[in-house]
Amino acid sequence: MGVVDDAEQPGFITTTLDKLLRWGRSRSMWPVNAGIACCSLEMMTTGAARYDFDRFGIMFRSSPRQADVMIVPGPITKKMAPIVQRVYNQMAEPRWVIAMGSCAISGGTFVDSYNVLPGAETILPVDIYIPGCPPRPEALLYGCLQLKKLISETSTIGSSRKPMYVPPVLPEEWPLELLGEYDALEAGAVWVQPERDSPPVTPLGDAESAPEDEL
Amino acid sequence: MFGSGLLKGLGITLRHALGRPVTELYPFEHKNPPANSRTFIAMHVNEEGAPACRACNTCIVGCPDRVLKLVKDPDDPKRAVEFVVNSGRCTYCGLCVENCPFDALYFTQDYERATRDKGALIYHLIEDGACTHEGEVDRP
Amino acid sequence: MSAAMWIHALLWLVGLLLLIAVVTVMGVWWERKFIGHLQRRRGPLHHGFHGLLQLPADMVKMISKEDIVPDSADPWLFQIGPLMVVVPAIAAMAALMFAPGFGLLDMNHGLFYIFAFQTLLPLGFAVIGWSCASKFTLIGALRAAAQLISYEIPMLLAALGVVVAAGSMRLTDIINAQAGVWYIFKEPLGFAIFGIAVLAEMNRTPFDLPEAESELVAGYQTEYSGMKFGFVQLAEYSVLFTGSYLVSALFLGGWNMPFLPASPLWLLLKIVACMTMTMWFRGTFPRLRVDSLMSLSWKWLLPIALVNIMAVAALALALPGIY
Ligand code: SF4
Ligand code: SF4
């Protein structure tokens, strides 16, 4: 949902509106109240008295229609995948996804399992990755502040739909709902069963692509 | 008695409201996590600044999640040229740190690692035979 | 109607709409802040002075959100639903008097007018819940209709006690009749019944069954996104304001204050105190069960309200000077 879809040359009013929207959206992120696994306990802790999400206007809404952010707190099993995907589809644009914890980032310790997806980005367009197992509440708050920064840096001019990912070959084990224009058929990551008997020294998937300036 | 419980509850919440909130204002006041909390893996260096790792592979064998990657120097099998950590898959179980016979690895308390780029979660501890960060010299 | 009357009405319309906006913004802010402190949290803190810019940000976001109409929903009813809640809630505020002669319309049946429009609310909730064709909204709407209708009767009967004592349905008369003793001291039973029933009319905890978050996702407003949801919230806070006004006007003396000159300030203070009271309840009490909600209304409040009104009538006949 942009200010105007496909604006060629944004005028003064458009850019002012854009600034206002970015200000409003980044300061009012309501996550949908959906816990998947153990990371959701840490998510609740962050909402409770000691860390208090509400200081930043982050307020859990039970209904995905009224939520803006989906925090994926845990491994997505094949059985859970259609439900996670349906909750994401029920959210109104603009929407964002936070992958919280190692399981939501890459499958974590369950990645060799027969029924866990290798990360939330297999089906959802993830914006922020918060590593940890589970991340400390401060780490989650830091991740939310990173998302706030991302939202206030993202231009709202032009179309910014973020559809769900659908793999080019639909998996048989977990039935995804196809919703027509709300799917991104080409963007989906293909789900591959990882090798199970790996040698001790495993070449990491994309270790070469890691930025050099970390640490 | 009917109703006294309600009044008691109201009293408790009122006491909370008048007392001091327990909230820590996180980004503005940093409280360091407890010393035994496990966050990111880092590498010790010895006195000359070289990484303490002797490339023995013990940590990699012990890791349940295939997080670590080690490339040995072909000339010197006791020297690691590259040591990569995929922190997006690590469970922070601590097996690698405990297993290391040379106490080369340790956990930092740096939790502010959220990122927009998944690739940034894969970081090098050793690159071209040198430590990529200011490792601690003192061993715990 | 003369031009002056039109201008008067227009000014009041704008003023009331502004009042509703301010009440909603400040009410939500104060609610989040106060409930936060009740739970030893801080509430909104970092956006604006102590989180005062939080609500404007929420509104900007809500206006710019996608407006989803579910496939299975009845499109016409779905669009008109929020209006059917907002319009009666705002229309009921037209009869509020803030000082002698200071109000949009000093109707001689003002109380009746307010209750008449509040009675329309369950219809709006039912339309909202029915149009979405979702189980959660339907259960929420049915609960709202059942609750609002059954609590209306004790509320009206308790208010009738005040009307009997004051001898008028004009809000100004009722408040002026309390220049000496407030009705809360003359009719404590009526006050208790009215308070409980108004709490249920406003869908506030412990009577927030229609939107019970732990059972019904968000109750009747589950399917509404963006500003339609905002409208339902707006209606809720207008009803909260009207209910708090009614409690302060009927039982707490309105603009009267003992030993001090009458002033609209006292009225506003009492309204804020009543609203804070509901928020305090919300931060403390658990929710009632559906069946105990119904039995509380029909088995307890209704008979006691009937006894109360007869007692008040008898006292008014027996002691005409005092009652
Ligand atoms: S902490 Fe555990 S999961 Fe992480 S690298 Fe070490 S052994 Fe592997
Ligand atoms: S870090 Fe320790 S255990 Fe791992 S290869 Fe180096 S010396 Fe061996």
pLDDT given for residue A199 in this prediction: 37
Question: Is A204 domain-assigned?
Answer: no
User: How far is residue B82's CA from residue B55's CA, in Å, rounded to a whole number?
Assistant: 10
**Can you tell me the ipTM of this complex?**
0.81
- Are A69 and A98 in contact by the 8 Å Cβ rule? The answer is yes
Reported confidence tier of residue A131, pLDDT bands at 50, 70, 90: confident
- Taking residue B103's Cβ as centre, other Cβ atoms within 10 Å add up to 12
**B94 C-alpha vs ligand 1 centroid, how far in Å?**
6
For residue A119, tell me if it sits in a domain.
yes
Mutate to test the interface with B, among C31, C35, C38 (most CBs of B within 10 A): C38
Q: Do C64 and A156 touch (CB under 8 A)?
A: yes
Write down all domains in chain B, each with its CATH number in brackets. 33-131 (3.30.70.3270)
Asked if pLDDT for residue B127 goes beyond 50, the answer is yes
Q: In this structure, is the dihedral angle defined by the CA atoms of residues C171, C174, C179 and C183, taken in order, positive or negative?
A: negative
Among residues A115, A39, A41, A114, the alpha carbon closest in space to that of A76 is found at: A115
Among B29, B24, B45, B43, smallest CA distance to B108 is for B43
Q: What is the pLDDT of residues A46-55, one digit of tens each?
A: 888 888 888 8
Considering only residues C272 and A119, tell me which one the structure prediction assigns the higher pLDDT: C272
pLDDT over 50 (residue A201): no
In tens, the pLDDT along C71-117 reads: 788 888 888 888 888 888 888 888 888 877 777 777 888 888 888 88
In-domain check, residue A215: no
Q: What is the pLDDT of residue A196?
A: 41
User: Tens of pLDDT along B78-123?
Assistant: 888 888 888 888 888 888 888 888 888 888 877 888 888 877 788 8
Query: What is the predicted pLDDT for the residue at A168?
Result: 59
Ligand 1 atom nearest B97 alpha carbon:
6
Among C31, C65, C137, the strongest candidate for a mutation testing the A interface, having the largest count of A CBs within 10 A, is C65
Kindly report the average pLDDT of chain A as a whole number. 75
Q: Judge whether A68 lies within some domain.
A: yes
| pLDDT interval class at A170 (50, 70, 90) | low
Whether A163 maps to a domain, the answer reads: no
The verdict on a CB contact (< 8 Å) between A63 and C217 is yes
Range of the domain at A123: 2-153
pLDDT band, residue A204 (cuts 50/70/90): very low
pLDDT at position A4: 55
pLDDT, tens digit (0-9, with 9 covering 90-100), for C245-268: 899 888 888 788 888 777 788 888
Kindly tell me if the per-residue pLDDT of A58 is higher than 60. Answer: yes
Q: Give tens-digit pLDDT for C164-180.
A: 888 888 888 888 888 87
Does some domain include residue A187? no
Number of compact structural domains in chain A? 1
Mean pLDDT, residues C30-55 taken together: 86
Closest residue in chain A to residue C230, using alpha carbons only: A66
- Give the C-alpha separation, A84 to A116, whole Å: 13
B5: nearest Cα among C286, C105, C216, A208: C286
The reply to whether residue C284 touches residue B22, judged by beta carbons under 8 angstroms, is no
A189 in a structural domain:
no
Q: How far is CA C144 from CA A65, A119, C139, C157, C220, in A?
A: 20, 41, 8, 20, 8
**Pairwise CB contact (< 8 Å): B123 & A215:** yes
- For residue A21, the domain's CATH number is 3.40.50.12280
DSSP state of B123: E
Residues of chain C positioned with their CB less than 8 A from the CB of B6: 284-285
The answer to which of A9-13, A108-112, B34-38, C300-304 has the lowest mean pLDDT is A9-13
Q: With 60 as the cut, is the pLDDT of residue C228 above it? A: yes
pLDDT at res. A211: 39
CB C229 within 8 A of CB A66: yes
Task: List the residue whose alpha carbon is closest to atom 6 of ligand 2.
Answer: B53
- What six digits make up the tokens of C317? 């006949």
Nearest residue on chain A to B94, judged by CA atoms?
A: A133
Instruction: Give the chain B residue nearest A130 (alpha carbons).
Output: B114
Domain assignment of residue A71, yes or no = yes
Integer Cα distance of A53 and A47 in angstroms: 5
